[in-house]
């Protein structure tokens, strides 16, 4: 039996589709019959808002509390085959709150250790920053998936993630086993500039690039605001079909 595989979705750049990608891939895997744990590591709590009927500020405990006191670690069941570790705004003080904890880069790894094998996949949504929280995610993960749009700023965010990845991987005490398993290009609209950046991404990160690109679709935004899965809201949509293919291809790579 394979053990639960932990996958983190990251880019230093904001608004590139990290959360949407984490959610759509998690939902696709759940529909394939896999058990998935979604971990929201962003104080904006977008993934929590999209997946759970409980609003971020309404919980007694969130992942921030579990980082301070592991006894408070709480998992919510949100949909068939999908559980959630929710976040809220209190996570924005993570650096200050954990300043006195020794080995604070291992907090997430420690929290997930005991539940990892209850799931086929653990999906981690990172904030748009490469600070201590994303560091925790990369140390806890088996697989890194970079998420990007095909443009200059998002691409330079990728370069920064690649540097952090190299840093984590090169250090025995951090996470030598971390693999760059995927690069997902989102919100794709074909034009000269996006083609240029798509080619650049394929050249630089060729092995990791996962096809197909996720095409731009207006229903994506709607699905997020009404807490619906795109597989229900827009089953014949372009981006829906793209995410199904990417989820399948990513699963194949992870499980090979």
Ligand X SMILES: Nc1ncnc2c1ncn2[C@@H]1O[C@H](COP(=O)(O)OP(=O)(O)OP(=O)(O)O)[C@@H](O)[C@H]1O
Distance in Å, CB of 77 to ligand X, minimum:
23
8 touches, from ligand X, Mg ion, none (C-beta below 5 to 8 Å by class): none
Total chain residues near ligand X (CB under 6 A) = 20
- Tokens found for residue 199: 């080619």
Sign (positive/negative) of CA torsion 132, 92, 214, 191?
Answer: negative
DSSP 253: H
Closest distance to ligand X from the beta carbon of 166 (Å): 22
Q: Which of residues 85-104 bind ligand X (CB under 6 A)?
A: none
Characterize 197-208 residue by residue with b for buried, 16 or more Cβ atoms within 10 angstroms of its Cβ, and e for exposed: bbeebeeebeeb
Q: Which of residues 106-145 bind ligand X (CB under 6 A)?
A: 128
CB of 221 to ligand X, least distance (A): 4
CA distances in angstroms from 132 to 164, 178, 184, 201, listed in the order given: 11, 17, 23, 26
For residues 28 and 229, what is the distance between their CA atoms, to the nearest angstrom?
10
Q: How far is the CB of 102 from ligand X (least distance, A)?
A: 29
Report the Cα–Cα distance between both ends of the chain, in Å, rounded.
Answer: 13
| Site track 34-73 with ligand X (rule: CB under 6 A), x = hit | --------x-x-x---------------------------
Q: Which is nearer to ligand X, 15 or 70 (CB)?
A: 15
Instruction: Please report, as residue ranges, which positions from 158 to 217 form the binding site for ligand X (by CB under 6 A).
Output: 186-187, 214, 216-217
**DSSP per residue, 42-83:** -TT-HHHHHH-SS-GGG-S--HHHHHH-GGG---EEEETTEE
Question: Is residue 161 within a helix (H) or strand (E), and if so which, with residue range?
Answer: helix 152-170
244 binds, among Mg ion, ligand X, none (CB under 5 to 8 A by kind): none
Q: How far is the CB of 3 from ligand X (least distance, A)?
A: 27
Q: Rounded distance, CA 220 to CA 233, Å?
A: 9
Nearer to ligand X, 4 or 26 (CB): 26
| Sheet strands side by side (includes 143-148) | 76-79, 82-85, 36-40, 121-125, 5-10, 143-148, 179-185
- Our CB check for Mg ion shows the closer of 132 and 196 to be 132
Out of 137, 208, 239, 244, the only residue in the binding site for ligand X (CB under 6 A) is 239
- Can residue 229 be called a binding residue for ligand X (CB under 6 A)? no
**Which one of the spans 62-70, 90-98, 192-200, 220-228 is the region binding ligand X (CB under 6 A)?**
220-228
In the complex, the residues that contact ligand X under the rule CB under 6 A are 14-20, 42, 44, 46, 128, 186-187, 214, 216-217, 220-221, 224, 239
């Amino acid at each position: 039996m394979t053990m639960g595989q932990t996958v983190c979705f990251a880019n230093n750049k904001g608004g590139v589709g990290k959360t949407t990608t984490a959610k759509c891939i998690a939902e696709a895997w759940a529909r394939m019959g896999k058990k998935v744990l979604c971990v929201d590591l962003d104080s904006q709590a977008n993934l929590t808002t999209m997946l759970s009927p409980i609003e971020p500020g309404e919980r007694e405990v969130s992942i921030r509390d579990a980082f301070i006191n592991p006894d408070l670690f709480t998992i919510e069941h949100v949909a068939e085959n999908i559980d959630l570790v929710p976040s809220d705004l209190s996570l924005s003080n993570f650096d200050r709150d954990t300043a006195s904890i020794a080995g604070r880069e291992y907090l997430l790894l420690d929290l997930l250790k005991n539940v990892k094998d209850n799931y086929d996949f653990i999906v981690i949504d990172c904030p748009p920053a490469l600070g201590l929280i994303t560091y925790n995610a990369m140390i806890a993960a088996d697989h890194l998936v970079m998420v990007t749009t095909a443009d200059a700023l998002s691409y330079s965010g990728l370069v920064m993630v690649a540097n952090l990845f190299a840093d984590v991987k090169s250090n025995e005490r951090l996470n030598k086993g971390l693999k760059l398993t995927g690069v997902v290009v989102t919100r794709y609209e074909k034009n000269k500039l996006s083609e240029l950046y798509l080619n650049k991404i394929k050249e630089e990160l060729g092995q990791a690039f996962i096809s197909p690109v996720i095409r731009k679709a207006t229903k994506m935004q709607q699905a997020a605001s009404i807490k619906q899965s795109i597989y229900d809201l827009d089953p014949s949509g372009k981006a829906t079909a793209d995410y199904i293919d990417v989820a399948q291809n990513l699963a194949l790579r992870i499980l090979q």
